[in-house]
Amino acid sequence: MSLSIDRDKHQTADKPTLYKQIRLDIERRILTGEWPPGHRIPFEHELMAHYGCARMTVSKALSELAQADLIERRRRAGTFVRRPKFLSAVLTIPDIRAEITALGRSYGYQLIQCLRRAANAADRARLGVRKTGKVIAIACRHSADGVPFAIEDRLIDLDAVPEAATADFAVEPPGTWLLHHVPWTEAEHSISAIVADDKAAAALDIAIGAPCLVIDRHTWRSARTLTAVRLVYPGESHKLVARFKGG
């Protein structure tokens, strides 16, 4: 267990404040990526010993983190950092590979290009940052049962996600890798329609001028952009669905 907290400070705090501090300590480790998705949180008795507090204090902090969907508690196995969930391409971040396999179709992936380079002005503008060092620019194609499903144009900020420098995107799709390795706190989708130019038509095996659905997405962690991606789908074979409930 790697907890570098000033215990004396915590032990002098009153109990109502202490449980909040425990929650904030764990939340900070999750949101900064120190404890990535799937990481096991120390057991309750370990947290009790570290903070010098009762089980009820620890349990209350963990309960609030679970309610915030930051952790999940598994019977007998322990407590783990929750992997971000996805429900649809509109309201949450989908894993295209999981989306296709959930439909009972065979998933295919082709890495077209992967370049690591110094960020230029266009990269910074796309990411919405004033300064950044290096980026990874990725182009790839997803297919379902051998038929093109979507093409992806992605930019990853290596200053914000340094671990992406060692990821093998020839094997694992970048979206899948990011969802399983990098916590995020905010995302934005912009949905539009275009007609396929010659490049998109060739990649998606559709006619030039055919309608396409476009999703532009930015993902942030603590106000820092992690990645910007454009996904282009054949318009006739893809739709977005979201279900809402009134307040």
28-71 pLDDT, tens per residue? 888 887 888 788 999 999 999 999 999 999 999 999 898 887 88
Q: For tokens 């930015």, what's the residue?
A: 218
- 105-142 confidence digits (pLDDT tens): 899 999 999 999 999 999 999 999 988 889 999 999 99
Distance CA 104, CA 91 (A): 22
Res. 192 pLDDT band, cuts 50 70 90: very high
Using CA atoms in the order 194, 199, 205, 210, what is the torsion angle rounded to 10 degrees? 30
pLDDT greater than 60 at residue 12: no
Q: Rounded to the nearest 5°, which phi and psi values hold at 236?
A: -80, -15
Q: What pLDDT, on the 0 to 100 scale, is given for residue 244?
A: 64
Taking the whole predicted model, whether its pTM rises above 0.75 is answered as no
Report the alpha-carbon distance of residue 212 to residue 206 in Å, rounded: 10
Rg of the chain in Å (alpha carbons): 21
Residues 152-163: tens digit of each pLDDT: 999 999 999 999
Local confidence band at 103 (pLDDT 50, 70, 90 cut-offs): confident
- Per the DSSP assignment, residues forming a β-bridge with 72 are 80
Residue-level pLDDT at 91: 57
Query: Which pLDDT score is estimated for 5?
Result: 45
Cα dihedral sign for 41, 45, 51, 54?
A: positive
- Position 85 scores a pLDDT of 46
81 touches 183 (CB < 8 A) = yes
